[in-house]
Each structure stands twice: as C-alpha cells, then as structure tokens.
Amino acid sequence: MAHIRTYRTPVKMGNWFEEQRLKEDEVKEHLEKKERGELAGQKMDFLKENILKPVKFSVTNDGTLHFGDIVMLVNMGGGNRECSAVSINADVNSLTKIPSPSIQAPCAVSAVRSVQPCTRTAFVITSVDGSPEGSTLHFEQSFALKTTSGFARGLYLTSDLQSFQKCAKKSRLQEVSLEDSDSFLSWWKIVYFDPQERLEYEGLPVPANVKVLIVHCKTNQALAVLGDQVLWTMYGKEYELTAHTFLDSHKAEQDNNHWILCTADPAGDGLSEVMLTFNFTVNPPTPLHS
C-alpha cells in the first residue's frame, strides 16, 4: 500500500514556505536591481552607449601634430593582422559610479579591428615637459597619451618592465594598460620609422597621418599589436597590445610597431582621407623644419 497516494495534488510538501519566500526575495531583488540599473544587461548597454559614443577628432591645418590634439592610434595591419586601432578594453566590471558613472583604473587596452572615431579609440596628446597646449610635437620629445575626459576619465596609457606578476595576458610580453596617475611610466616618444633616416628627423615636427613608431621612454620598447594573439572581448575579436620592439633581419622595426596618429579630415568628413580609403602611402614624408 506504500505506493498509493494518501494526499491530494494541491497539498504542499517539504520546506514549501521557505522556498516560496526565497523566490519572492529573488523577484524583489531583481526588480530593485533593475530599478537601479544594476542588471548585467543594463550595465552592458550603458557601457556600450557611452564608450562607443562618437568623438570629434582634431583637425591639423599645418600637417603636424600638436599637444592637446585628439587622435586615434592606427596600425595598418599586415600578415595575419587586419587594420586595427588602440582602444579601451573595458567590461562591466570596469564601471564605477563614484564620483560619476565612468570606467575605473587600472583598465586593459586592446587593438580593435573596427576603426571608428569614438570614446573607446580617442586619445589626447598631452604635454609632460611644460610645453603649452597647441604647440607642435617633435620627434623624440616626451609626451603622454590619455583618454578623453568624462566617461573615459582621462586615464594614461602606461607600461612598465615585465615581470612574473605583471605582463601581457597571452604573449607574456610587456603589458600596456590605462592608469589614473601621470608618471614616468606613462611617458612615450615618437620615433621616425626608418632607422637609416632617424637622426635626420630628430627634433623636427611630427607630421600627422604618417607611419611612425611610438616608443616607451622608460623601457625603450615600441608599442606593438600582435596578430597571433587574439582576445575575445565583449566587443568581438580583437588583438593583444603590448610594448615590445620587433626587429627584422636588417634591425629595422617590423610593421607590428608601425602606427599612424590619425586626425580628422579638414573638410569635416570625419577621419582623414588617408584612413577612410586605407590608401596609406609608405613613401617617407618631406622633413618639416621648425
């Protein structure tokens, strides 16, 4: 007779009261988080809405770069790499509400394949030696690269010597990240890409939208993008970014280290025509004398 049901279907068994209260608490907590905008989906939408917001890049009228210019750092690709740009690799865990909604430091960086002018890819050329804003940036002159103010908080592109505790996630090379403090670790310099003509260009104004090297002042390692190290982020497939100088058999830096500091088109059509058409010329520019 043990198999015969001695109770009706509506009869509740076990810890039914506790389970009911737990479900009610879960629903209540979910609604409270939704009201505060703390659900994972809401955080992701908020992050993408702000970090992908279009940014107006600086226009150069004399063909050179200046302190205070808002630019995008673009690598034209090569081999197994597509064209990519240095970008903020922030996720929902990078968000903070204090003192205002923004990303928090330290924050990772990566090379995004979608070359679009937005908060995520915008960097400001910042003086570290007292040069006034608007003055011309010269080859071998120290400067800093920081994100835009507001949601991106003006974080500095920073690097330091690699160690077992601090290195790039996949390649284990020298790590590059965003920090909120301005120090010698965030100092960079522009170097002419052709080593045979490097001394000739030292001290001359840096032209915009041409191929150059971005070298870290402390470690003397060049900013590089790694096509064989793929990062899967909330924005899609991207490349790892590191500070490491890749040399060929002629002791010249490889295209992993070649960057274009891209400005806006003077005609007001967004990015410079060079970047819009991806028709970049590798011919060296004419030296610009002060």
- What tens digit of pLDDT does each residue of 125-180 get? 999 999 999 999 999 999 999 999 999 999 999 999 999 889 999 999 999 999 99
Q: If pLDDT is split at 50, 70 and 90, which confidence band does 280 have?
A: very low
Range of the domain at 235: 56-281
Higher pLDDT, 106 or 42: 106
Structural domain contains residue 4: no
pLDDT for the residue 50: 92
Phi then psi dihedrals of residue 250, to 5 deg: -100, 15
Structural domain contains residue 169: yes
The model's pTM is 0.82
- Residue 23, helix vs strand vs coil: helix
Which residue is it, tokens 């007001």?
Answer: 268
- Residue 158: closest CA among 104, 79, 219: 219
pLDDT for the residue 278: 44
pLDDT for the residue 282: 36
- Residue 121: closest CA among 57, 65, 68: 57
- Write down the mean pLDDT value for the chain: 87
- Residue 64: closest CA among 141, 157, 129, 121: 141
pLDDT for the residue 276: 46
Residue partners of 88: CB distance under 8 A and separation at least 6: 51, 103, 107, 109, 119, 120, 121, 147, 152, 155, 178
Phi then psi dihedrals of residue 227, to 5 deg: -75, -25
Structural domain contains residue 12: no
Phi then psi dihedrals of residue 25, to 5 deg: -65, -40
How far apart, in whole angstroms, are the C-alpha atoms of residue 253 and residue 58?
28
pLDDT for the residue 283: 37
Structural domain contains residue 47: no
Structural domain contains residue 91: yes
Structural domain contains residue 134: yes
pLDDT for the residue 93: 86
Structural domain contains residue 93: yes
If one counts the domains in the chain, the total is 1
Is residue 8's pLDDT more than 70? no
Q: If pLDDT is split at 50, 70 and 90, which confidence band does 71 have?
A: very high
Structural domain contains residue 49: no
- Residue 223, helix vs strand vs coil: strand
| Percentage above 70 pLDDT, the chain | 87
Query: Which CATH number is 123's domain given?
Result: 2.80.10.50
Mean pLDDT lowest among 16-20, 219-223, 237-241, 255-259: 16-20
pLDDT for the residue 19: 81
How far apart, in whole angstroms, are the C-alpha atoms of residue 237 and residue 159?
23
> What's the Cα-to-Cα distance from 190 to each of 128, 132, 171, 198, 278, rounded to whole Å?
14, 18, 24, 11, 22
